Structures are given as structure tokens and as C-alpha cells.
Chains A and B, each alone.
Chain A
Amino acid sequence: MADVVILLDAYASVFGMRVRVALAEKGIKYEYREEDLRNKSQLLLKMNPVHKKIPVLIHNGKPVCESLIIVHYIDEVWKDKAPLLPSDPYQRAQARFWADFIDKKLYDAQKKIWTAKGEEQETAKKEFIEALKVLEGELGGKPYFMGERFGFLDIALITFYSWFHTYETLGNFSIEAECPKLISWAKRCMQKESVSKSLPDPKKVYEYILEMKKKLGVE
């Protein structure tokens, strides 16, 4: 019996992109459905009644929610191809710890870069760069976060790269100047088709954010 896989997503979502990359890494065929977040579909509301958010992976009719939980799920179900998490429990713990760090520290800081102004924005930029520098330190001299192979933690972080142009333009700063090693890592990841085909054009993301700011009244 063939698997039926549907992804409810929104093209600019860093969380949705994580799932796209994971599915691409495993070569899984799926149907992509773009959600209008201001007019959510009945299917989305039914499949994620608790949070009503994307991404939602629907596998043979059953929903899985929360991007990193979905990536774990994909790794467990399609376990014979391209493992995303390392096999050693301690390495897995490290990957999960840093993914949690990204979702806690990086996410809140980056949001204020494009929604806030003045002092608040400056503080957000500082926090954002600090968090990136800590991650850059974790990367060290390795090609990918867990070593030789692209995996879970790379997936958790690389999706933010599609938003760097937006942060830099609205925040008036250069991420590469602050974190050159991290940018090298990002460019290395972008050479993988599973990544480059899953991430949107940074210019499109920027235009989308400008639209959002207008609608939210935070110009």
C-alpha cells in the first residue's frame, strides 16, 4: 500500500521549511498544500485543533504537528534512508538541546528584528547575533553540526538562512561580517538539492515580510 503524505505549510515559514527539507532528504513523495494563514482551511483546523498552525504532516490520514516532532517522525518512519538523527544517544541529546536553543533564543530575537524599531530592534539584533555566535561556536571546524553528515540540527537552523536577507535589510547589519563561519556552513547546506529546493527565494521572503508589516501596521 502506498503512503499518502500531505504537508500543510506556508512557503515563508522557517518551521514548514524544516519538514520540506526532511521529506526531500528521504526522497518521500508528498502533496504540498499552501495555507493562507489569514484564512485557514477546514483541514488545517481539523488536523491541528490545538494550535491551528502549520506545518502539519498528514500521513495516511493521521496528523503530526510541530516541526521538530515531525522531523523525528519522518526519521522514525522512513528509517532505512538518510538518517537525520545520529545513532548515539548522547549525540542525539546534543542535537535536541541545540534545536531547543534555536527555537528558544533565535526565534524570539529574529521576530523583533522585523517587527520592532529603535532600541527594541537594536537589542533584538544583539541577542540574535549572540545566539548565532554561540551556534557558530558549536559548529567549530566541522562541515555540519553533527560532523561529516548533514542532519537534524542543520535542518533546524538552515531554514532561518532564507530570512537573513530580510533581517539584514530591515536591521541594517551584515550577518556574514559577524558570523562568517556560519555563512560558509549555510552556503554548504544550500548546495544540497534537498535544501535549495525547499527554501524560498530570500527576496520573495523580504517582499512577503514588507506586506505583513503593512497589514500588521508595524511600518
Chain B
Amino acid sequence: MAQVTLFGFWPSPFVYRVIWALKLKGVDYEYVEEDMLYNKSDRLLKYNPVHKKVPVLVHAGKPIAESAVILEYIEETWPQNPLLPKDPHGRALARFWTKFGEDKIPALFGFFMTEGEQQVTATKEGQEQLRILEEQGLGDKKFFGGDEIGMADLEFGWLAWWLEVLSEVAGVKVIEAESFPRLYAWIQRFKEFPTIKETLPDRSAMLTYFKGRRATFLALAAS
């Protein structure tokens, strides 16, 4: 089997989406940790000259960038344990919610990048999007993908692990059991799912890292 290499950065939920997809499908891969803040490798810059970001998947020497594009590639190349349903309309819906997750990143992360009055507004905006996600995206399903984890679950996986850390660092509660009962229940199911549970970054390391990031963002905003 041709070599699979994933260039990543341990605190990145975009990278973890790809790791989860590879693990759920039982694909062996080599992981290369990139120093995204201070010292990106020559190989990364060669493989992703356009955006210079991670994740980048290299399969048989050929690079693919952008987590959503990588997930589609993984799905097509290793069809076992599918992340997308077979029917075209179901696939369109999974892709719709995955894109929703991408497009709403500024709104969803706003609470983490702001403080004071701005943070109150930003948190509300993020929660509005989460309300739409819970009511129309998840509904009464076990996972976004239905009975099994699918592409949209991987897109929103950060809500199940990163959000708690970001909330603690930023000093706001974004999702609570009372305010978002279905999303909250999905969070518990997702992070207890065996493959996912074994594949999460260390919580205390995340706390340290994101405390540093928030300090940087706030300093930049103030300057």
C-alpha cells in the first residue's frame, strides 16, 4: 500500500478531523508534527504552497490540502466505514452541514477572540448558529450522520472537546445541557465513541496552548 503521511499540528481541530477519518477507516499513516507558529517545514511549504497550512495529506507522494477536500478524498480512496450515505440527497445534506461548519467559524469562535461587551454579543451570535445546527442539522438523530458517525460529525467534533477548553479559557459558557439538550447529548456520545475517545489531544496541554492564543488575539485586537 502506498505511503500515507499527514502533516498536522496537535491543537488543530482541522487536523483531528483527518486523523479521526483515517482511524475510523483503519488506514495506517505517518504523522508529521509541524511547528505552525514559528517554523513551518520546507516540506509543508512545498506540499501546500497556496495556503501554507495544515492538515496536508500526502498519498503516494501526491499532496492534498484543505480538511474538507481531504475528507472527500479519504472517503473515495478508502470506502470502508463510509462517512457519507449512498443516496445523493443524503450526501448533499452531509456536505451542506460540513460547509455550514466551515462558513460559520468566525461566528462560532467569536466568543474566544473577544472580551467585555464584544464578547457578550459574539457569544450570542455563536449560540444562534448552534441553535440552527441543533434544530435543523442534528434534530433527533443519534449522530449528524444518522446511526453512525459521518462527515458532519467530524466537522463539528471540535464542539465535543475543544469547546470546553476554549470556554474555560475565555470565561464564558457556550453550550450547556439545559440550553442545548440535543447538542449536549451528541457531545457525550461523540467523545465516548471508542475511536474518538482514544484520539483526542491532551486537555491540560490544550489549556496552556489556548490561554496563550487568547492572550495573543486580545493583544493584537487592542493594538
22 A-B pairs with CB atoms under 8 Å apart are: A50-B136, A64-B89, A64-B92, A69-B92, A69-B95, A69-B96, A73-B88, A89-B73, A89-B76, A90-B59, A90-B62, A92-B72, A93-B69, A93-B70, A96-B68, A96-B69, A96-B72, A97-B64, A97-B66, A97-B69, A100-B66, A100-B68
Q: What residue of chain A has the Cβ atom nearest to residue B62's Cβ?
A: A90
- Report the 7 A-B pairs with minimum CB-CB distance, sorted nearest first: A89-B76, A76-B88, A93-B73, A96-B69, A64-B92, A93-B64, A73-B92
* Contact residues in A for B204 (Cβ distance below 8 Å): none
Query: Counting CB contacts under 8 A, is B99 at the interface?
Result: yes
Query: Counting CB contacts under 8 A, is B177 at the interface?
Result: no
Q: Can you add 7 more A-B contacts, CB < 8 Å, to A69-B92, A73-B88?
A: A62-B89, A64-B96, A65-B92, A76-B91, A89-B76, A92-B73, A92-B76
* Contact residues in B for A66 (Cβ distance below 8 Å): 95-96, 99
**Cα-based distance from A50 to B136 in the complex (angstroms):** 8
What's the nearest-Cβ distance from chain A to residue B3, in Å?
Answer: 14
Q: What residue of chain B has the Cβ atom nearest to residue A88's Cβ?
A: B76
Interface of B is mostly: helix
Report which A residues bind B (CB closer than 8 A).
49-50, 59, 62, 64-66, 69-70, 72-73, 76-77, 89-90, 92-93, 96-97, 100-101, 134
What's the nearest-Cβ distance from chain A to residue B99, in Å?
Answer: 6
* Contact residues in B for A134 (Cβ distance below 8 Å): 50
Which of A49, A70, A96, A97 is most buried by chain B, counting CB atoms within 10 A of its CB?
A97
Query: Counting CB contacts under 8 A, is B77 at the interface?
Result: yes
Contact with A along B61-86 (1 / 0, CB 8 A): 01011101110110011000000000
* Contact residues in A for B76 (Cβ distance below 8 Å): 89, 92
Q: What residue of chain A has the Cβ atom nearest to residue B59's Cβ?
A: A90
* Contact residues in B for A70 (Cβ distance below 8 Å): 92
What's the nearest-Cβ distance from chain A to residue B219, in Å?
Answer: 25
B91–A101 touching, CB < 8 Å: no
Q: Which of B73, B92, B132, B136 contacts A90 (CB 8 A)?
A: B73
Q: Which of A65, A76, A90 contacts B96 (CB 8 A)?
A: A65
Query: Counting CB contacts under 8 A, is B100 at the interface?
Result: yes
* Contact residues in B for A100 (Cβ distance below 8 Å): 66, 68-69
